[in-house]
């Protein structure tokens, strides 16, 4: 039962599999941690699957078990929100490779030892296959919608491409159909920071609990910059000093932005596993939906009956509007039904998680039109 | 004498000082490594000072003593180039805080031990004061021009503000009059990567030669991404694989961009000191020319007779055109003579170092008009 049984229902299921992975390995069993909200209606037509981002989890609208913070998408999911347990049966599962209950490098292998770096490298499509196993397990054939931002949006695109008959509506927010060289570069910096930490030890750090926290914190700091816009950083922090009147002429966190970033790094390591960070960033870097379909993105959506909603943000430089537009062009070429909007927001990539009322209106209108 | 006596003349001078630093400390002696090219003319009117960037050095147009590579600005300095030893007496000195011969954390303190983190925190203005001491030492009153890109451009602005009567022309390329929150954030990631390396040991790593190379490499990788444009990375690397036909489903450098970044990190640590990286990034983060002049940038240039040339690049997101424009507005408000151009280049911030013929034409024309 959930810690937050008033609302969500958090469970873990162990499915026998095997799950055949893109890398050639077969994973068995497949543990999937997930949370549901609301009730499946009689004809099973109101199920919405929400896909989370790199460091997200299944506690989409419930208290996080480690941090005690509210769910990561309470702005989108809840009573009176676009995705509403009163109308929808809402499913969110922790992705394969993560560390909040689903199978990942911190999980035990069949021999009882942590997989660590012996866990197979996975792809976005593997994550989606695991989700499909969960949806089967829940007895649901077709999803009313699959919805996600950032890496969640990649999963939505992959769902639509891999299981077109099981997705009536797809909502892809602040995402892309492939990782750019710059995206890969930032992830590689994070991975190198983790692997350079002597506590990483080739990934075998679970026994004594001394994880590569310093490296993971640096990885998070670098990534966090990419989630924010330059203008947003200037507005929020500028060159303001942190709890002091003058520069210290030392290496303490003189500036608020330094203090903020250090906090982001330090607090992240309490809730996330460094090896999971390696695996999930790798899956994102490997993602190239066109490549999976003969090099032509439109092929991924040929003959689809899924209706698509694409949203980008004007200050998002990690997954800029041009990436969404490329997907829209491919959908157009495939003759798919697609609505596309670039929203204005000062928040950069993080806008998909933050208070952008226009996003809620767009998603609400799109979902209702398909109901 | 220089290793490259055919052309440049590299020397180190020890000036007694003391140099009064912005942080309150007094540095004595002040070692300055520098290189000169060409001959000072009879009336001492043809001296051009070149200011280098964060990881640059005084070997502006001579072979680097460690890497064996050509000087870092042979595109701008040399026979037939805008800055030409046949016409100019060219001076370039290693900045204070660096590690190529000028006083910095790797230097010996008066007691004979390396300063390490006991070296005083310095500012861009301190670097410029040290350069002024060198120019005095060389018997030069007024410089025909001070020229620099990136951090070099900050020094040029500081020269014009601090010694207006000693700078006839100022050339500021791909730079800014202050460091933004995003600039500070990226530097802070680099500093944290260095300090997280157990080999950093509070900066006291000189005795056994085991430097925090892993942390410094990560810092360099993160910084390097900011020097390039997203479009440039896509054109140069895209998602192309490195010496393989298919993804490895592992954590080797599958993509060319990964391999390239790793190489950038690894090769950097051979030529640069981690503590110097901390000190110089700190100086850059502290830089805010307006703050030094009552909060109004125009005050920095009040009554100036210096003529200015400002150049930015359209794909430079580290020091975007808006930062140059802010300086131009301040110069206009101060009634200064200024020419400003935004050049088009695919190379991002690094354009100031690369083959951009238009940049050479702009600098050449500007310098000749002032001769």
pLDDT tens-digit map of A9-42: 889 999 998 999 999 999 999 999 999 999 999 9
Of the candidates A150, A175, A324, A345, the residue annotated as catalytic is A150
CATH superfamily of B9-182+288-369: Alpha/Beta hydrolase fold, catalytic domain (3.40.50.1820)
pLDDT exceeds cutoff 50 at B161: yes
In the predicted model, what is the mean pLDDT of residues A101-112? 96
How far is Cα B148 from Cα B155, in angstroms, rounded to an integer? 7
- pLDDT bin (cut points 50, 70, 90) of residue A243 is confident
State mean pLDDT over B239-255.
93
Give the integer Cα–Cα distance in Å for A367 and A362. Answer: 9
Q: Tens of pLDDT along A72-81?
A: 999 999 999 9
- Residue B344: what pLDDT? 97
Say yes or no for a CB contact (<8 Å) between A282 and B251. Answer: yes
pLDDT at A4: 41
Left, alpha or beta for B321 (phi > 0: left; psi -120 to 50: alpha)?
Answer: alpha
pLDDT of residue A65: 87
Task: Report the gap between the CA of A367 and the closest CA in chain B (Å).
Answer: 34
Q: Which residues contact B180 (CB under 8 A, 6 or more apart)?
A: A230, A233, A234, A239, B323
Residue to test with chain B: of A21, A194, A222, A348, most B Cβ within 10 A: A222
- 3-class DSSP state for residue B291? helix
Q: Find the helix or strand (DSSP H, E) in which A13 lies.
A: strand A9-15
Quick one: what percent of chain B has pLDDT higher than 90? Answer: 94
Contact B237 A181 (CB under 8 A): yes
Question: Average pLDDT for residues A296-319, to the nearest whole number?
Answer: 98
Confirm or reject CATH 3.40.50.1820 for domain A9-179+288-369, answering yes or no: yes
**Among this protein's residues, is A263 annotated catalytic?**
no
Which residue ranges make up each domain of chain A?
9-179+288-369, 183-281
pLDDT for B192: 97
Q: What is the pLDDT of residue B65?
A: 87
The third-level CATH classification (topology) of the domain covering B183-281 is Rna Polymerase Sigma Factor; Chain: A (1.10.1740)
Does the pLDDT value for residue B7 go beyond 80?
no
Q: Would you call B42 helix, strand, or coil by DSSP? A: coil
Q: What percent of chain B has pLDDT over 70?
A: 98
At residue B2 the predicted structure's pLDDT band, cuts being 50, 70 and 90, is very low
- For residue A191, pLDDT beyond 70: yes
Q: According to the model, what pLDDT value does residue B4 have?
A: 41
pLDDT of residue A308: 98
Please give the ipTM for the structure prediction: 0.94
Residue numbers in the known binding site of B are: 220, 350
The yes-or-no verdict on residue B242 having pLDDT over 50 is: yes
The enclosing H or E element of B310 equals strand B307-313
* Closest-CA residue of chain B to A182: B230
Q: What percentage of chain A has pLDDT greater than the value 70? A: 98
Distance from CA of A241 to the nearest CA of B (A): 11
Secondary element (H or E) of residue B274: helix B274-286
The residue-averaged pLDDT of B131-148 equals 98
Instruction: Note the pLDDT of residue A1.
Output: 35
Report CB contact under 8 Å: B188, A286: no
Give the mutation candidate from B213, B222, B246, B321 for the A interface (greatest A CB count, under 10 A).
B222
Residue B342 pLDDT > 70, yes or no?
yes
Which residues 6+ apart lie within 8 Å of B97 measured at CB?
Answer: B103, B104, B105, B119, B122, B127, B276, B279, B280, B283
Nearest-CA distance from B36 to chain A in Å? 32
- Distance CA(A285)–CA(A294), nearest Å, equals 18
**Does residue A309 surpass a pLDDT of 70?**
yes
């Amino acid at each position: 039962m959930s810690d937050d049984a008033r609302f969500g229902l958090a469970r873990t299921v162990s499915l026998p599999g095997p799950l055949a992975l893109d890398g050639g390995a077969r994973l068995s069993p497949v543990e999937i941690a997930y949370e549901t909200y609301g009730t499946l209606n009689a004809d099973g037509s109101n199920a919405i699957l929400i896909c989370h981002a790199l460091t997200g989890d299944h506690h989409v609208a419930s208290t996080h078990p480690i941090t005690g913070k509210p769910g990561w998408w309470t702005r989108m999911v809840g009573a009176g929100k676009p995705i509403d347990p009163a109308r929808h049966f809402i499913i969110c599962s922790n992705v394969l490779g993560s560390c909040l209950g689903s199978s990942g490098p911190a999980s035990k292998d069949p021999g009882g030892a942590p997989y660590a770096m012996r866990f197979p490298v996975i792809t976005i499509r593997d994550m989606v296959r695991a989700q499909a196993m969960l949806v089967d397990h829940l007895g649901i054939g077709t999803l009313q919608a699959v919805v996600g931002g950032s890496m969640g949006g990649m999963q939505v695109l992959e769902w639509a491409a891999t299981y077109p008959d099981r997705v009536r509506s797809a909502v892809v927010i602040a995402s892309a159909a492939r990782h750019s060289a710059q995206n890969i570069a930032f992830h590689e910096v994070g991975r190198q920071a983790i692997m350079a930490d002597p506590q990483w030890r080739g990934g075998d750090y679970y026994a004594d609990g001394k994880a590569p926290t310093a490296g993971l914190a640096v990885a998070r700091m670098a990534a966090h910059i990419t989630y924010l816009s330059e203008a947003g950083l200037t507005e929020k922090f500028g060159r303001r000093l942190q709890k002091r009147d003058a520069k210290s002429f030392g290496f303490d966190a003189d500036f608020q932005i330094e203090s903020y970033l250090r906090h982001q790094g330090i607090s992240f390591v309490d809730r996330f596993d460094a090896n999971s960070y390696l695996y999930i960033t790798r899956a994102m870097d490997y993602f190239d939906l066109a490549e999976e379909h003969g090099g032509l993105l439109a092929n991924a959506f040929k003959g689809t009956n899924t209706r698509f909603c694409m949203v980008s943000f004007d200050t998002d430089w990690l997954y800029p509007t041009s990436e969404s537009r490329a997907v829209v062009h491919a959908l157009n070429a495939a003759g798919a039904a697609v609505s596309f909007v670039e929203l204005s927001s000062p928040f950069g990539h993080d806008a998909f998680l933050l208070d952008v009322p226009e996003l809620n209106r767009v998603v609400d209108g799109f979902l209702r039109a398909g109901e």
